[in-house]
Homo-oligomer: A and B are copies of this chain.
Amino acid sequence: MNALGLVSMRLCAGLMGHWSAVNLPFLRVSSGMTLSQIDEEVAKLLQFKAQLGGDEGKHVFVLKTAKGTRDYNPKQMAIREKVFNIIISCFKRHGAETIDTPVFELKETLTGKYGEDSKLIYDLKDQGGELLSLRYDLTVPFARYLAMNKITNIKRYHIAKVYRRDNPAMTRGRYREFYQCDFDIAGQYDAMIPDAECLKIVYEILNELDLGDFHIKVNDRRILDGMFAVCGVPDEKFRTICSTVDKLDKMAWEDVKKEMVNEKGLSEDVANRIGEYVSMQGGQDLAEQLLQDPKLSQNKQACAGLTDMKLLFSYLELFQVTDKVVFDLSLARGLDYYTGVIYEAILSQTIPAPAEQNGADEAAVSVGSVAGGGRYDGLVGMFDPKGRKVPCVGVSIGIERIFSIMEQKAETSSEKVRTTETQVLVASAQKNLLEERLKLTSELWNTGIKAEVLYKKNPKLLSQLQHCEETGIPLVAILGEQELKDGVVKLRNVASREEVDVPRADLVDEIKKRTL
């Protein structure tokens, strides 16, 4: 009996008998399980136990987030906000608008867009409505949006979470729920101008994020296809050989070749010919050289790709970014929908990560890769009832990996990450001043000052000062009987401990001046 048969049997037994038996976890245990699979089964078992408990006993809750997901605590959110601000500023500097789409799409919208990765799509349960799936990326919803609204040109960014039932490698910033930051240009334009702007954007963002040295690999699907053709790969194997080539960034050529020959059925000769090409790296010069290549120059696709590559480099020269861009014939990228230029940005300095189980899916994301994209001229047409095409080119910033790096940087840095922006704490040194504290705090809020007050009737001055130390509030406005009588507030600088009496009427200006 195959796996599907087993599942069917279990499901049917469950449906015909007790509904709660559907997920009897013990049916899942097998000797080939990984540690994380066992964790999952334990979680299910505990959930099941809690369900059996019903309303009679105390529920045994599994206190965790779903596998491959995480909460962001306030410190992580502060870092995330900083990173988003840099990226959004860049997108806005380039004149982009933004859109948003729902987190789930009709299942059919996602079908047939992701090749082998389709198995990683999260489906929603059929609860008697439409068949829905969580979005797998932002590109397919974007194409659906363009077709649905008959939009033929737009420059937009979209920052949102996407979902993949992948094997998470969370220490390296790989999750099942993760952010994508996409910038795309749709429209019929002159060759390579929007493509060059996408690369300029990657360059600007990686520079501003200050993640150390990086380089951007560029290639073109037409060059790859032309290369496969002249090497003797049969047409129907282009995409699958492309996937194998894509593994060159983390597998040695010998292993990639083995896969081509043993698994994908290429002859040794054909594989060797591919091997010669994919070892080539260069710039505009390499494009020119390959245009003279006796074999490639005979292939129409390859020539179109190489001519565009030359043009692209000439624009990148004007944008002053060629120092980081490499024309690399081994770059293939996994997704099916690319039709022209493709690119991927890689950090030079990779942070060592602990060894992971489940190496099988590692190929999906390159370890040092922090941005990637390319041209996809056919995708919108797949959604248009009349097949009308809207050429698109775009880039996706791999923000989760960037978060991980920034978090690690923050942890080793001496500077404390503030999680609030509070300018002043309204405090008192004596008892029975709650009402006066609340009144002053309210006055400050009304003028736009960011202010806090402890929610205690009679807090100790020490605990009020400690709250400032812990959260980085720079100022304390201290009220006492004497200050109230004199119409002043004692303003204390938390760092220097210096105190000065400020007339109540001047307090707002004084706080603003000191917390610019």
Residues of chain A having any CB pair with chain B under 8 Å: 4, 7-8, 11-12, 15-16, 19, 22-23, 40, 43-44, 47, 50-51, 55, 58-59, 61-67, 69-74, 77, 80-81, 92-109, 111-112, 122-127, 129-132, 134, 144-145, 147-149, 154, 156, 161, 163, 165, 177, 185, 187, 189-190, 193-194, 196-197, 200, 204, 315, 318-320, 382-383, 385, 387, 419-422, 434-435, 438-439, 442, 445-446, 448-452, 455-457
Please, which residues of chain B bring their CB within 8 A of the CB of A71?
Answer: 99-102, 145, 148-149
Contact A103 B177 (CB under 8 A): yes
Number of copies: 2
Knowing A122-B124, A420-B92, A450-B93, say if A445 contacts B315 (CB, 8 Å).
no
| Nearest-Cβ distance from residue A162 to partner chain B, whole angstroms | 10
Contact B131 A93 (CB under 8 A): no
Please, which residues of chain B bring their CB within 8 A of the CB of A64?
Answer: 106, 148
Contact A92 B204 (CB under 8 A): no
| Cross-interface CB contact of A11 among B11, B67, B105, B422, cutoff 8 Å | B11
| Cross-interface CB contact of A422 among B73, B95, B124, B315, cutoff 8 Å | B95
Please, which residues of chain B bring their CB within 8 A of the CB of A74?
Answer: 97-99, 154, 156
Please, which residues of chain B bring their CB within 8 A of the CB of A147?
Answer: 63
Please, which residues of chain B bring their CB within 8 A of the CB of A62?
Answer: 106, 108-109
Q: A12-B12, A102-B177 are in contact. List 12 more A-B contacts (CB 8 A).
A: A4-B19, A12-B16, A23-B126, A66-B104, A69-B104, A71-B101, A71-B149, A72-B101, A94-B450, A193-B456, A200-B442, A318-B435
Contact A124 B127 (CB under 8 A): no
Contact A318 B438 (CB under 8 A): yes
| A459 to B, closest residue via Cβ | B190
Contact A123 B124 (CB under 8 A): yes
| Nearest-Cβ distance from residue A342 to partner chain B, whole angstroms | 19
| Cross-interface CB contact of A106 among B66, B70, B420, cutoff 8 Å | B66
Knowing A47-B108, A67-B129, say if A450 contacts B187 (CB, 8 Å).
no
14 of the cross-chain contacts (CB-CB < 8 Å) are A50-B111, A51-B108, A65-B148, A70-B102, A74-B97, A92-B421, A93-B451, A102-B177, A103-B103, A190-B457, A194-B455, A204-B445, A319-B442, A320-B442
Contact B190 A96 (CB under 8 A): no
| A177 to B, closest residue via Cβ | B102
Contact B319 A189 (CB under 8 A): no
Contact A131 B452 (CB under 8 A): no
Contact A47 B100 (CB under 8 A): no
A387 vs B60: C-alpha distance in the bound complex, in angstroms?
A: 11
Please, which residues of chain B bring their CB within 8 A of the CB of A193?
Answer: 434, 438, 455-456
Contact A452 B94 (CB under 8 A): yes
Please, which residues of chain B bring their CB within 8 A of the CB of A16?
Answer: 8, 12
Please, which residues of chain B bring their CB within 8 A of the CB of A95?
Answer: 420, 422, 450-452
A445 vs B55: C-alpha distance in the bound complex, in angstroms?
A: 62
Please, which residues of chain B bring their CB within 8 A of the CB of A108?
Answer: 47, 50-51, 59, 61-62
| Nearest-Cβ distance from residue A375 to partner chain B, whole angstroms | 13
| Nearest-Cβ distance from residue A368 to partner chain B, whole angstroms | 26
| Cross-interface CB contact of A77 among B97, B129, B450, cutoff 8 Å | B97
| A73 to B, closest residue via Cβ | B99
| A160 to B, closest residue via Cβ | B161
Contact B320 A65 (CB under 8 A): no
| Cross-interface CB contact of A66 among B23, B61, B105, B448, cutoff 8 Å | B105
Q: Which of A92, A438, A457 has the most CB of B within 10 A?
A: A438
A101 vs B77: C-alpha distance in the bound complex, in angstroms?
A: 11
| A449 to B, closest residue via Cβ | B93
